[in-house]
Structure 1
């Protein structure tokens, strides 16, 4: 391991995550790239999430727990972690997802060699039980702002941005689809999102996934286009229709 390797801050929002949070944390502990800190922010869980995290925290000082005083949603939860982050790179891992062991090593090397500001990777979809669905999501090699309006093509669990180049970029404060809003915000600066075409993460398909509920998806995308991106009604309708068609085909 290179001792000059830049610090990576792993952002994990938690809410009633006791079932899968151990897998998420272990997938970070098992990284071949070891210069990281993991910032877990709990959004007022009513289960044993905090107890599980504290057990890991006692064994490894790189694991840091923060607790919100009122339930605020994933946007505010992730923003708290971004605010506290000390790393050059900001990476995202949701509490029910997993990384493969070489994820950080391969992706940070990819970004450093090419001086990329934002990158993401291919990923696999797994069942709630952790069993493979044999479905792989392979994103387009390069994405710009316009590309992303048609559909959110970046898996949050694979995304990393370089805050030495972009500064601290925060998610818009909407209840859902804030990650989509964050990528749009970064791409609006003229940055591009570059994909590393390797499966380096596993996305857990749960019953509560916003992506599984097409009607909710439409509502939150509309809110994002109108209130955050300030698109006209016609443009918002057009991109919303594109999002729905692409989602139905996937």
Structure 2
């Protein structure tokens, strides 16, 4: 039975950790470890988290010596992981008890699969379900896929050996870190979508991807996309030249407008239907 490393990058979310912890220890799949890296939280996160994991050797807890941001912390999580598979779980979110088992089962079906992912459900601050995020779908993976609009999201399980083939998560990123990870991994294989809800995404005022952080995340994602275009040696998209140097977010997103149009989406839907899945 392969081991999975569940990776948790924490900053000031200790008060929500109980739900996250409970969801991990209730997994139907039991060969797992949890790597927690705290990014110098200023609340009582460390105390709260250590209280729950005390005495359980499956949980490994680490702290940054200074606040470094999301990219650095998530990269450190992966550097410390020892499982054949990895998946990030935010400390303020939770997963359903069969999430790990079901997603790992998909890897047995094809050697081309390097990652699996599922639907998520938005929840209120108390983790009460609100609505399923309907935009997550099976992608048709090619060099022009940039996850615009968003189609890949949590819960995302991937092979660690594939991650080690990449340059790794950009440690300087403050947000759009998961997008950076997805796009790098997809250059080495395909991701399989499982059309079930496995992830509980908590909506609250302090969430890193919500409210005031959205504009910053949009800018970071544009930079990630531009870096991906350069890495993939793409110089022209839809007849338009890709800027040699990054200019601004709008210039990057405008290159991908054609991917939101109906003809392109229909064609991709047809291609996806005829994949090996």
* TM-score (normalizing by structure 1): 0.86
Please name the residue that 1:12 is paired with. 8
Superposition map of 1:22-171 within 5 A: 22-115=18-111, 116-137=113-134, 139-144=136-141, 145-155=143-153, 157-167=154-164, 169=166, 170-171=168-169
> Structure 2: how far apart are the matches of 1:81 and 1:48?
21
- Aligned to 1:87, the other structure's residue is in SS state coil
1:115-172 deviations in whole A, cap 9, x for unaligned?
32111011111112212112343522234242334233222x3001112355365212
Please name the residue that 1:184 is paired with. 183
Pick the structure with more helix per residue.
1
Structure 1 runs of 4+ with >4 Å offset = 211-214, 239-245
Shift of residue 223, structure 1, vs aligned partner = 2.3
Greater CA radius of gyration, 1 or 2? 2
Q: Where in structure 2 are there 5+ consecutive unaligned residues?
A: 235-241, 244-249, 262-277
Cα pair distance change 1:69/1:241, threshold 3 Å: farther
CA RMSD between the two structures: 2.5
Of residues 162-171 and 93-102 in structure 1, the stretch that sits farther from structure 2 once superposed is: 162-171
Please name the residue that 2:265 is paired with. none
Shift of residue 198, structure 1, vs aligned partner = 0.9
Q: Where in structure 1 are there 5+ consecutive unaligned residues?
A: 246-250
Shift of residue 19, structure 1, vs aligned partner = 1.6
> Structure 2: how far apart are the matches of 1:7 and 1:69?
28
> Structure 1: how far apart are the matches of 2:67 and 2:259?
29
Cα pair distance change 1:198/1:138, threshold 3 Å: farther
CA contact (8 A) 2:135 2:151 kept: no
Cα pair distance change 1:239/1:99, threshold 3 Å: farther
* TM-score (normalizing by structure 2): 0.78
Confirm whether residue 197 of structure 1 aligns to residue 195 of structure 2: yes
Please name the residue that 1:216 is paired with. 216
Confirm whether residue 226 of structure 1 aligns to residue 242 of structure 2: no
- Aligned to 1:147, the other structure's residue is in SS state coil
